[in-house]
Amino acid sequence: MRQHGNWMQTPTDEQVLKVLDTGLMLGPTAIAKNIDKHRVTVSNRLRELCNYGLVERPEEGYYGITDLGEQYLEGELDASELDESTDES
């Protein structure tokens, strides 16, 4: 069972992570289209997921899931124990 953090917006954050768990690097517009959310909502959630280390931005405009993000989806990580990072890509 996944342990989400109080900072998370479920199910949106989980949907974003699942789309990125396909192994593709995607931008907010493509992710939004695939989860039926507005691009601005997805952009805001991506920023927050990056702050907590579940998502990374390897290239301007593109995002990918991190090892922590994969661990969260597999139920191996309690997201409530994550600290917000000040390192924004």
At 83, is the pLDDT very low, low, confident or very high (cuts 50, 70, 90)? Answer: confident
Q: What is the pTM (predicted TM-score) of this model?
A: 0.91
Q: pLDDT tens, 52-72?
A: 999 999 999 999 999 999 999
In sequence order, what are the beta bridge partners of 19? none
Cβ 50 vs Cβ 88: under 8 Å: yes
d(CA 44, CA 34): 16
* Strand pairing class (62-65; 55-59): antiparallel
Question: Given a cut of 70, is residue 89 above it in pLDDT?
Answer: no
- Residues 3-38: tens digit of each pLDDT: 999 999 999 999 999 999 999 999 999 999 999 999
